[in-house]
């Protein structure tokens, strides 16, 4: 397992927690497919993850705009950095289908980023938005 649900902090908005939990499930499925060398399945899950990540970020951004959240530009900038990082890995995957590149990214970059991002930004945002 790449990441356990309890490793990601719960925030004060149930919808955001549900989005995070679904993403963790998908990440773990992608991780297993990559580790077992099931390229076809991993490819499908990479596409699903690309859509899921964009949904995750744009949903939070819409919630922040509706609630006039003061931290919107900073929170969105952190999403935008990850959008760029992920796009590089996604494009490299489409070109080379090298599981190790994606596995390294997930373990060394994405999961540590997600933990920190949720603790730093999503939690404050959720407190502002409420449930």
- Sites of contact with Fe ion (CB under 5 A): 60, 122
Buried b / exposed e over 46-60, threshold 16 CB at 10 Å, is beebeebbeebbeeb
Q: Supply the DSSP symbol for 108.
A: I
Distances (CA, A) of 4 to 33, 59, 82: 17, 23, 21
Dist CA 64 CA 91 (whole Å): 29
CA distance 104 to 55: 23
- Specify whether the CB–CB gap between 128 and 72 falls below 8 A: no
Nearer to Fe ion, 39 or 120 (CB): 120
Closer residue to Fe ion, CB minimum distance, 52 or 60: 60
Residue nearest to Fe ion (CB): 122
Residue 99 C-beta: closest distance to Fe ion, Å: 26
User: Is 42 or 64 the residue whose CB approaches Fe ion more closely?
Assistant: 64
- Cβ nearer to Fe ion, comparing 42 with 114: 114
């Amino acid at each position: 397992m790449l990441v356990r649900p309890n490793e990601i902090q719960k925030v004060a908005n149930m919808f955001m927690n549900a989005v995070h939990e679904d993403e963790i499930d998908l990440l773990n499925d992608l991780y297993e497919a990559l580790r077992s060398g099931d390229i076809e399945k991993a490819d499908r899950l990479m596409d699903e993850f690309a859509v899921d990540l964009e949904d995750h970020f744009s949903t939070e951004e819409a919630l922040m705009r509706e609630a006039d959240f003061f931290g919107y530009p900073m929170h969105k900038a952190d999403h935008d950095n990850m959008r760029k990082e992920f796009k590089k890995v996604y494009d490299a995957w489409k070109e080379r289908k090298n599981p190790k590149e994606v596995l390294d990214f997930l373990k060394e970059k994405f999961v540590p980023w997600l933990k920190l991002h949720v603790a730093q930004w999503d939690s404050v945002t959720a407190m502002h938005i409420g449930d």
